[in-house]
A = this chain, B = another copy of it.
Amino acid sequence: MARITGSNGGRTAEAIRRAAIRLIHRQGFAAMNLRELAAEVGIQPGSLYNHIETKQGLLFELMREHMQDLLSAMEAALAAAPDEPMAQLRAFLAQHVLYHLERKQEVYIANFELRALEPANAEPILAMRREYEDRLIGLLEAGARAGELQVADARIAAYALLAMLTGVCTWYRPGGRLGPEEIVAQHLELALSGVSGAGLGQRAPDISAGGSAPIERMRSIPAGGRTPG
């Protein structure tokens, strides 16, 4: 037998893409097999190769497209915001959360399936991620220079903020108690408060005052080198 009536390459390719996102998100790239992917789309396994080169290539494309979309969304948000440090920072963080709410599955994959990429494929993806991170670091540093932010280490703060704001994709479910607007608002509040310099305490001294036993032992750990990565 052969080609099915009504088949449409573009439509099938899109169905493959959507099904792949769903399945990878649900069980992981390595655990998803192409037979179930094909079944999800409604074609035979071998037919997938009309639309993808390899299983690995499929993952790479999904992640590459996602990163490009994320970078584009960020650029658009920044371009639409006033050219002031805090406004830029807000715009960045807001679009981050919103994008992550809308495309939580792709975000999840892009973050947690890096290990499944072969080195040659991982490299460009990592480069795009760094571009995104560096942008946020730049914004934090600009805010600090303008005297509007107080961060001890822009890179650490950036990682912490990204982790916090990216975390929504692990638990957010459309139709839940809170709509995107509320979630964005709360996360911005938490994030911006965290870097505002309006904290509760200084550093180690306050922590010790808390009397937490693990902290005492921590003091004996030697400090490290230069870069966090």
Contact = CB atoms under 8 A, between A and B. Distances in A.
A103 interface: no
Nearest to A179: B223
Contact of A212 (B91, B198, B213): B91
Interface string A173-198: 11111111111111111111111111
Interface string A148-186: 000011001101111111111011111111111111111
B160 A82 contact: no
Contacts of A226: 176-177
A70 to B, nearest CB: 12
A215 interface: yes
A201 interface: yes
Contact of A228 (B31, B98, B171): B171
Interface stretch (A13-21, A22-30, A36-44): A22-30
A213 to B, nearest CB: 4
A175 B214 contact: no
Interface in A194-210: 194-201, 203-204, 206-207, 210
Q: A interface, by DSSP: helix, strand, loop or mixed?
A: helix
A225 interface: yes
B115 A181 contact: no
A90 interface: yes
A214 B94 contact: yes
Most B C-beta atoms less than 10 A away, residue of A157, A179, A219: A179
Given A98-B218, A181-B204, A189-B194, 13 more contacts: A81-B210, A81-B212, A91-B212, A159-B167, A160-B190, A164-B164, A171-B229, A175-B225, A179-B222, A185-B204, A193-B193, A193-B196, A198-B199
Interface of A: 26-31, 73, 76-77, 80-82, 86-87, 90-91, 94-95, 98-99, 112, 115-116, 152-153, 156-157, 159-168, 170-201, 203-204, 206-207, 210-215, 218-219, 221-229
